[in-house]
Each structure stands twice: as structure tokens, then as C-alpha cells.
Structure 1
């Protein structure tokens, strides 16, 4: 058997993961088949099994790629030079936007993976914790900057925000109704900041002239 280059091997893997993502999104995990994924990736069934143990392994690789992408985007969003409220709004909007842009992958994660026995200790759980830590880090930075109350619990606020958003988005993820990302992001941000944000002193130089 001829030896293939590392680049070509990675290209095959990427093509399989991309095809699997499309098939899982279109048909769901149970209805998706390795044969259909292979046809979409233009490879043989056997080649898929050279790189992935089974369909479950492939699902995890799809969601790992998804999480790596959304974590990087969220970290970039929050790294912008802005005040706490503006950065929180950007984070909430980005998180809600994930449900719209990748509705089926979000549904697969919530219904197929997070509740499964093999989720604990998995790479996806590690990535999920990294994703959540972006929000706790933002809250801790807000406390340090004097923009958020010192007695605010970063972990509790994180759970409130992500829990509320998941509850709001779940009907949409299941194909029921619409999700207004901007309006919801504004409402959630206003609600949270109304409870934890400290009033900020205005710069005298910015005061309106009389």
C-alpha cells in the first residue's frame, strides 16, 4: 500500500468530518449512516473506519471541530477593548447566534452528547468548560475593573445566563418558532447588568457644555 503524506491524510479526515457534519445536521445522529457520509465525502466506507472507530467517534469529532470554532470566536469577541456591559452583550449575542447558525449541531450536543454516559471526561466536556470559562473570566474582569459588584458570583451568573439562553433557544432548536438574537441579547444583558453592574462615573471631560 503506498504511503500518503500527512497533508493528504489530514485532507481526507477534514473531508470526512465536513461530510459527517452535513449528514448529521440534515438527518440527525440515528438516521445518519456511515455509507451516506462516505458518499458525501467521496471516499469508501472502509476508509472512514481507518480514521474513526465508529459513528459515535465521528460524531464526537464533528462536535469537537464545532466547539473549537465557536470557542475561538467567543474568545475573540470578548477580547475587544470595551466596557463590561458592551462585552457581555457581545458574548450573549454570539452565544445566541450559535443556536441559529448551527441549530442542528447544537441540538445534537444537547440531546445526544451532553446526556450520554461517555460525555464526562471527554474532549467535548473540556471544550465546553473552556467555552463557559470565557463568561466567568469576563465577570471576574468586570469585578476587578470596578464595573461589577464585588459580591457577584461569576459561576452563579454564568449558570443563570447560559441556563436562561438554553431555555429560550430550546424550542427553536427543536424547530418550533423563531429566535430573535438581537432582542434577546439586549434583554438578557439588561437584566443581568441591572442586578450586578455598578454605576460608572462619567468622565468630566465628556460632560455636556451648558
Structure 2
């Protein structure tokens, strides 16, 4: 039997992952079979199992690639020598962009993966925790340097931001337009100023 080079093996693995991402996006996780993925990749079912344990393993790897690709950008944003508000805006903007750029994958995560009974404690759950911890770190930095109130509930801020992004982006993952720039700007302004009306500059009493 001829020896397959490491590059050839990696290329084949990448092609299977690309096929899995496509089929999961089209059919959803539950309705997808290894046979569907193998067919899309142009290989046999048996060959797919040589690279992955099953479709759950494939799903985890597809989502891991998504998370790690996005987290590279978020870590760069978090590490910048920039004001808190700038870093917060850029993180929110990048997260919104991820929903728009990978709408099918985000739809799959929201509708099937996160609601699954085995999500808690799963590799994908751990990836999500790492992902959201970058925002927590930015807010903690803001508290430490005096740009953010010291009595703020940081976990609540995290939940508000990611909850708002997900809710607003759900329309986008279902095909409706989302203005990423305006949404990021408005969300940061809402967090900064709250809901109470600000007095008009130069107004007289």
C-alpha cells in the first residue's frame, strides 16, 4: 500500500471538514449523516471514519476552526494600547461580522448545538467560554485603569452584550440585512450612556 504524505493527509482532512461545514449548514446537524458528508467530499464513508470518529467529532472540529479563527482577531483587539471604548466597539463589531460572514454556521450553533442536552461541558462549550472571556478581560482592564465603574457586574455586562448581539444577529443569519457598523456603534453608546436622556449641550434651565 503506498504511503500517503502528511500534506496529502492534511489536505484530505481539510476537504472533509469543508464538506462537513457545507452539509451541516444546508441540512442541520441532526439531519446530516456521515454518508452525506463523504458524498460531498467525494470519498467513501469508511475513509471519513479514518480521519474523524463520527459526525459529532466533525461538528466539534468545524466549530473549533471557526472559534479559533475569530479569537485570533479578538485577542489582537484586546491587546491593543487603546481606550476601553475603542476596544469594546472593535470587539463587538468583529463579533457581529462573524455572524454575518458565517451565518449558516452561527445559525447551526444557536438552533442546534447550544440547545443540545450534551452542550454543557462539551468542547464547544469550553470554546465559547474562552471566546467570551476575552470581553471579560477587556472590561476588567477598563475597571483597573478607571475607565469603567468599579462596582459593575462584569458577568452581567458580558451577558447583555452577547445576548444583544445574538438577538440582533438572528435576523441576519436568517437572511435579513444587518448594519454591522451602526449596530456596533449603537450598542456601545447604549452601554456608555444608558437609557436616561442626556441634557442638551448649552441648554438653559
1:170 has 2:150 as partner? no
Q: Matched residue of 1:141: which SS?
A: helix
Inter-partner Cα distance in structure 2 for 1:31 and 1:174:
19
Give the superposition deviation at 1:69. 1.0
Inter-partner Cα distance in structure 2 for 1:77 and 1:26:
32
Give the superposition deviation at 1:3. 4.2
Inter-partner Cα distance in structure 1 for 2:115 and 2:8:
35
Q: How many residues align?
A: 194
**Partner residue of 1:202?**
none
1:97 has 2:97 as partner? yes
What TM-score do the two structures reach when normalised by structure 2? Answer: 0.87
| Structure 1: unaligned runs, 5 residues or longer | 196-210
1:187 has 2:189 as partner? no
Q: 1:78 touches 1:90 (CA, 8 Å); kept in 2?
A: no
**Partner residue of 1:133?**
133
What TM-score do the two structures reach when normalised by structure 1? Answer: 0.85
Give the superposition deviation at 1:50. 1.5
| Structure 2: unaligned runs, 5 residues or longer | 195-205
Greater Cα shift, 78-87 or 30-39: 30-39
Give the superposition deviation at 1:31. 4.3
Q: 1:25 touches 1:105 (CA, 8 Å); kept in 2?
A: yes
Q: 1:15 touches 1:41 (CA, 8 Å); kept in 2?
A: yes
Inter-partner Cα distance in structure 2 for 1:119 and 1:3:
38
**Partner residue of 1:156?**
156
1:21-100 alignment to 2 at 5 Å? 21-100=21-100
Q: Matched residue of 1:29: which SS?
A: coil
Greater Cα shift, 22-31 or 132-141: 22-31
**Partner residue of 1:205?**
none
